[in-house]
């Protein structure tokens, strides 16, 4: 009983109380003033840019993250252990350092700036650099959710499909993808949740210019600096709400995955 009380107190102190304080700050001036925040052009821009960053990070990491998980589980090659370790680098590096490195590469005097300029692409202080930073910090999630599932299902079904004449692409979409769908969906949810809350790397590489390169988290920071407490609290509530929805989706996915595993196990037992 004492341990339960400690656990409840711990969670309430670190989650429930701050959440209540955030809601109080957002609605202290009434629902009308709260809603009015979301009619402001700078808020529209920040939320739209955040949605774009989430979309890019999810698309890139879904495709390349799944491909990386496939390579790590299906192939054996020199440097595989190094590649496997590099996947976890975003977990270990501060996002601020990520932003600094990107500035060294794509800033005004960056090492790769001449190549980007030759292609007519601006990376730093523009949305491509922000998307690159967001994609980097969210890189591990799809890989780490899909790879264990690929290991678990093995290669028997894929080999059977190849034997029947299916191409690698058909085999992936008809055999492999249905088997990894829950892990992939969970990885996508984690990627989106992390992308929504990214701040440090994006702020460094973008400069956080209002209406141009300012995401929702950067807006909250600027609003606090400008003593716009209502704006900061309102947008923060929107971000928290989005994150809670994603957490709920992940819980649903987890339950469905467990249900599918139990169903498969029951079918196997009957056989």
State the Rg of the chain over Cα.
22
How many other β-carbons are positioned within 10 Å of the β-carbon of residue 81?
9
Q: Are 49 and 130 contacting, i.e. CB atoms less than 8 angstroms apart?
A: yes
243 within 8 A of 197, measured Cβ to Cβ: yes
Q: Say whether pTM exceeds 0.85.
A: yes
The encoded tokens of residue 40 equal 């402001």
Give me the pLDDT at residue 95, please.
95
Residue appearing with tokens 């892990």: 183
CA distances from 220 to 70, 190, 245 (A): 39, 22, 20
- Enumerate domains of the chain plus CATH numbers: 1-37 (no CATH), 40-270 (1.10.3720.10)
Cβ neighbours of residue 206 closer than 8 Å, sequence gap 6 or more: 125, 126, 127, 129, 130, 213, 214, 215, 218
Over its length of 271 residues, how does the chain's per-residue pLDDT go in tens digits?
789 889 889 988 888 888 889 998 999 899 999 999 999 999 999 999 999 999 999 999 999 999 999 999 988 889 999 999 999 999 999 999 999 999 999 998 899 999 999 999 999 999 999 999 999 999 999 999 999 999 998 888 888 888 888 888 899 999 999 999 989 999 999 999 999 999 999 999 999 888 899 999 999 999 999 999 999 999 999 999 998 898 888 888 778 777 666 665 555 544 4
Interatomic CA distance for residues 116 and 60, integer angstroms? 20
What is residue 224's predicted lDDT score, i.e. its pLDDT?
A: 94
Q: What's the pLDDT score for residue 1?
A: 78
Sign of the four-CA dihedral 100, 48, 59, 220: positive
pLDDT at 262: 65
């Amino acid at each position: 009983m004492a341990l339960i009380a400690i656990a409840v107190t711990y969670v309430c102190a670190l989650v429930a109380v701050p959440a209540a304080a955030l809601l109080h700050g957002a609605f202290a001036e009434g629902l009308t003033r709260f809603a009015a925040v979301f009619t402001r052009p700078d808020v529209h821009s920040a939320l739209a840019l955040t949605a774009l960053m989430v979309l890019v990070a999810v698309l890139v990491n879904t495709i390349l993250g799944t491909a990386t998980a496939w390579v790590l589980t299906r192939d054996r090659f020199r440097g595989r252990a190094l590649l496997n370790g590099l996947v976890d680098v975003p977990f270990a590096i501060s996002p601020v350092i990520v932003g600094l490195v990107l500035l060294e590469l794509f800033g005004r005097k960056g090492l790769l700036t001449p190549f980007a300029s030759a292609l007519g692409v601006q990376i730093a202080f523009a949305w491509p650099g922000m998307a690159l930073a967001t994609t980097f910090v969210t890189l591990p999630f799809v890989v780490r959710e899909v790879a264990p599932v690929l290991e678990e299902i093995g290669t028997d079904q894929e080999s059977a499909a190849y034997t029947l004449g299916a191409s690698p692409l058909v085999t992936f979409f008809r055999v492999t993808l249905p088997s990894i769908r829950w892990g992939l969906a969970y990885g996508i949810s984690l990627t989106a949740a992390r992308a929504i809350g990214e701040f440090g790397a994006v702020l460094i590489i973008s400069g956080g210019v209002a209406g141009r390169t300012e995401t929702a988290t950067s807006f909250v920071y600027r609003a606090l600096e400008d003593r716009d407490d209502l704006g900061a609290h309102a947008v923060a509530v929107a971000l928290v709400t989005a994150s809670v929805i994603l957490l709920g989706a992940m819980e649903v996915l987890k339950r469905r995955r467990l249900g599918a595993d139990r169903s498969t196990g029951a079918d196997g037992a009957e056989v």
